[in-house]
Amino acid sequence: MMDFTEGFGLQGKVALVTGASRGIGEAIARAFAAHGVTVVLASRKMEGLERVKNAIVSAGGRAITAVCNTGKPDQITEVFQRISDELGRIDILVNNAATNPFAGNAVDVPEWAFDKTVAVNMKGYFIASQHAARMMIEQGSGVIINIASVAALEALPMQTVYSMTKAAVLAMTRGLARELGPHGIRVNAIAPGVVKTHFSQFLADTPEIAQPLLDATALKRFAEPDEIAGAALFLASDMSSYTTGTVVVCDGGALA
Ligand SMILES: NC(=O)c1ccc[n+]([C@@H]2O[C@H](COP(=O)([O-])OP(=O)(O)OC[C@H]3O[C@@H](n4cnc5c(N)ncnc54)[C@H](OP(=O)(O)O)[C@@H]3O)[C@@H](O)[C@H]2O)c1
């Protein structure tokens, strides 16, 4: 029997959240920290990471910062070495840092933009998952959460390469869930619809794209980052102990 009076039961766990300096990653990091998780905050720029760390520490939580470009495998390796040396374990990996450097027609995508999108959104998620899985297999437990997108499930205008990488994230989620399940490790994805962050700012500047996306939602609004963090809390905790290899869609009903 599960004791539901215990809340999410995440006290004392260790999590790495990539892309934690703002937006969805920040919201997930703060939600985890509020539930007693020690959070490793990773992104490319220390300034944003320090801001999030200070907010977490001021609220009584625990966090450390790690500058890491997840498009560079060596930098991911360094972060996991630090986690191993300083914290000794990893319970939760949230692959969240992603990029979308070119919005336009597929025929116009320059090769550099294709390579960058694949390097960060696909290879970065995979390399981080490999490192986490090796440690989690030793522990006999762990959770990996991959932030995908509804772009993995439907065609969105001007985002074909981004969508390809997010569909690959869902394929990776299923493959790793099968492989790691016997080791007590669960792997799931979250597919957000439009969330009000820096990442989706271009929509605010392009109402002809934003309006149809807004109209398509059942709730008639875009999401706040905290509304994605709630799904992450569920997937990180034993509340979802029989859930693996799947995707939680948080899209305000756009695909309904
Ligand atoms: N916002 C949406 O509407 C939406 C919808 C569906 C899915 N998503 C997904 O949600 C995730 C988070 O997006 P968001 O909306 O929160 O974006 P955001 O507000 O722009 O935040 C992106 C975060 O990723 C970091 N980052 C970017 N490139 C990185 C790299 N190469 N290596 C390491 N960190 C990097 C950024 O910090 P630095 O600049 O310091 O590196 C920042 O912390 C992404 O996977 C995105 O695809 C977003």
pLDDT digits (tens, 9 = 90+) for 50-77: 999 999 999 999 999 999 999 999 999 9
Predicted local confidence at residue 96, as pLDDT: 98
Of the candidates 146, 136, 134, 140, the one whose C-alpha atom is nearest the C-alpha of residue 244 is 146
Of the candidates 207, 250, 200, the one whose C-alpha atom is nearest the C-alpha of residue 230 is 250
Which residues form the pocket of ligand 1, taking CB atoms under 6 Å from any ligand atom? 18-25, 43-45, 48, 68-71, 96-99, 120, 147, 149, 192, 194-195, 197-200
Which of 40, 126, 197, 213 to mutate for ligand 1's pocket (most ligand atoms within 8 Å of CB)?
197
How far is the CA of 248 from the CAs of 99, 114, 123, 243, 245, in angstroms? 21, 27, 22, 10, 10
Q: Which residues are catalytic?
A: 162
5 CA → ligand 1 middle, Å: 34
Cα dihedral 161, 224, 58, 236, rounded to 10, equals -70
Predicted local confidence at residue 5, as pLDDT: 83
- Look up residue 91 and give its DSSP letter: S
Is the pLDDT at 163 greater than 90, yes or no?
Answer: yes
Is the pLDDT at 204 greater than 80, yes or no?
Answer: no
Which of 199, 201, 221, 222 to mutate for ligand 1's pocket (most ligand atoms within 8 Å of CB)?
199
- Please say whether the beta carbons of 40 and 17 come within 8 A: yes
Is the pLDDT at 160 greater than 80, yes or no?
Answer: yes
CATH class of 11-248: alpha beta
Q: Where are the domains of the chain?
A: 11-248
Determine the average pLDDT of the residues in 118-134: 98
Across the chain, what does the average pLDDT equal? 97
Of the candidates 150, 179, 183, the one whose C-alpha atom is nearest the C-alpha of residue 167 is 150
pTM (predicted TM-score): 0.98
Beta bridge partners of 189: 146, 247
- Please say whether the beta carbons of 23 and 100 come within 8 A: no
Measure the CA angle with vertex 170, ends 140 and 44; round to 5°: 80
Predicted local confidence at residue 69, as pLDDT: 98
Q: Which of 25-34, 93-102, 200-209 has the lowest mean pLDDT?
A: 200-209
256 CA → ligand 1 middle, Å: 25
For residue 3, name the pLDDT band (cuts at 50, 70, 90).
Answer: confident
